[in-house]
Amino acid sequence: LQFTEEKLGQAEKTELDAHFENLLARADCTKNWTEKILRQTEVLLQPNPSARVEEFLYEKLDRKVPSRVTNGELLAQYMTEAANDFGPGTPYGKS
Protein backbone atom coordinates (compact mmCIF):
# COMPACT_ATOMS: atom_id res chain seq x y z
CA LEU A 1 0.00 0.00 0.00
CA GLN A 2 2.74 2.43 0.90
CA PHE A 3 4.66 1.58 -2.29
CA THR A 4 1.56 2.44 -4.36
CA GLU A 5 1.05 5.69 -2.50
CA GLU A 6 4.71 6.58 -3.03
CA LYS A 7 4.39 5.92 -6.76
CA LEU A 8 1.22 8.01 -7.02
CA GLY A 9 2.85 10.84 -5.10
CA GLN A 10 0.49 10.65 -2.14
CA ALA A 11 3.16 9.71 0.37
CA GLU A 12 6.80 10.52 0.98
CA LYS A 13 9.27 8.10 -0.48
CA THR A 14 10.84 5.84 2.13
CA GLU A 15 14.55 6.46 2.28
CA LEU A 16 16.63 3.30 2.61
CA ASP A 17 20.08 3.34 4.13
CA ALA A 18 23.12 2.58 1.96
CA HIS A 19 23.78 -0.80 3.58
CA PHE A 20 20.25 -2.00 2.81
CA GLU A 21 20.53 -0.71 -0.78
CA ASN A 22 23.80 -2.65 -1.11
CA LEU A 23 22.13 -5.80 0.22
CA LEU A 24 19.28 -5.40 -2.28
CA ALA A 25 21.73 -5.02 -5.16
CA ARG A 26 23.70 -8.09 -4.05
CA ALA A 27 20.50 -10.11 -3.65
CA ASP A 28 19.35 -9.20 -7.16
CA CYS A 29 22.77 -10.05 -8.58
CA THR A 30 22.83 -13.38 -6.74
CA LYS A 31 19.33 -14.20 -7.95
CA ASN A 32 20.21 -13.43 -11.57
CA TRP A 33 23.42 -15.49 -11.55
CA THR A 34 21.76 -18.39 -9.74
CA GLU A 35 18.93 -18.52 -12.28
CA LYS A 36 21.37 -18.29 -15.19
CA ILE A 37 23.55 -21.11 -13.79
CA LEU A 38 20.47 -23.22 -13.02
CA ARG A 39 19.16 -22.88 -16.59
CA GLN A 40 22.55 -23.80 -18.04
CA THR A 41 22.82 -26.80 -15.68
CA GLU A 42 19.45 -28.03 -16.94
CA VAL A 43 20.67 -27.66 -20.54
CA LEU A 44 23.80 -29.62 -19.67
CA LEU A 45 21.85 -32.44 -18.00
CA GLN A 46 19.21 -32.65 -20.74
CA PRO A 47 21.04 -31.90 -23.98
CA ASN A 48 19.27 -30.82 -27.14
CA PRO A 49 18.53 -33.96 -29.24
CA SER A 50 18.98 -32.09 -32.53
CA ALA A 51 22.48 -31.00 -31.52
CA ARG A 52 23.39 -34.61 -30.73
CA VAL A 53 22.02 -35.76 -34.12
CA GLU A 54 24.02 -33.03 -35.84
CA GLU A 55 27.23 -34.17 -34.12
CA PHE A 56 26.45 -37.79 -35.05
CA LEU A 57 25.92 -36.88 -38.72
CA TYR A 58 29.15 -34.90 -38.90
CA GLU A 59 30.98 -37.85 -37.37
CA LYS A 60 29.45 -40.35 -39.84
CA LEU A 61 30.11 -38.10 -42.83
CA ASP A 62 33.75 -37.64 -41.80
CA ARG A 63 33.36 -33.89 -41.67
CA LYS A 64 34.72 -31.51 -39.13
CA VAL A 65 32.21 -30.44 -36.51
CA PRO A 66 31.88 -26.64 -36.47
CA SER A 67 33.58 -25.29 -33.39
CA ARG A 68 31.17 -23.87 -30.86
CA VAL A 69 31.09 -23.56 -27.11
CA THR A 70 29.84 -26.74 -25.45
CA ASN A 71 27.21 -26.72 -22.72
CA GLY A 72 29.82 -27.65 -20.12
CA GLU A 73 32.14 -24.86 -21.21
CA LEU A 74 29.29 -22.36 -21.10
CA LEU A 75 28.33 -23.47 -17.59
CA ALA A 76 31.95 -23.11 -16.48
CA GLN A 77 32.09 -19.65 -18.04
CA TYR A 78 28.94 -18.58 -16.17
CA MET A 79 30.33 -19.90 -12.89
CA THR A 80 33.63 -18.10 -13.41
CA GLU A 81 31.89 -14.83 -14.28
CA ALA A 82 29.66 -15.14 -11.21
CA ALA A 83 32.68 -15.80 -9.00
CA ASN A 84 34.46 -12.75 -10.41
CA ASP A 85 31.35 -10.62 -10.03
CA PHE A 86 30.87 -11.52 -6.35
CA GLY A 87 34.52 -11.54 -5.29
CA PRO A 88 36.58 -14.06 -3.31
CA GLY A 89 34.91 -13.36 0.03
CA THR A 90 31.60 -14.97 -0.96
CA PRO A 91 30.50 -18.59 -1.45
CA TYR A 92 30.28 -18.02 -5.21
CA GLY A 93 33.77 -16.56 -5.30
CA LYS A 94 35.33 -19.32 -3.20
CA SER A 95 34.06 -22.17 -5.38
Sign of the dihedral through C-alpha 88, 90, 32, 8: negative
Largest CA distance in the chain: 71
CA dist 12 → 6, 15, 42 (Å):
6, 9, 44
**What digits encode the pLDDT tens for the residues 56-86?**
888 888 877 778 888 899 999 999 999 999 8
The whole-model pTM stands at 0.68
Domain boundaries, the chain: 18-94
| Packed helices 18-45 and 71-86: angle between N→C axes, nearest 10 degrees | 170
**What digits encode the pLDDT tens for the residues 3-50?**
666 666 665 666 778 898 889 899 999 999 999 999 999 999 987 888
Predicted local confidence at residue 3, as pLDDT:
65
Predicted local confidence at residue 41, as pLDDT:
95
Predicted local confidence at residue 34, as pLDDT:
94
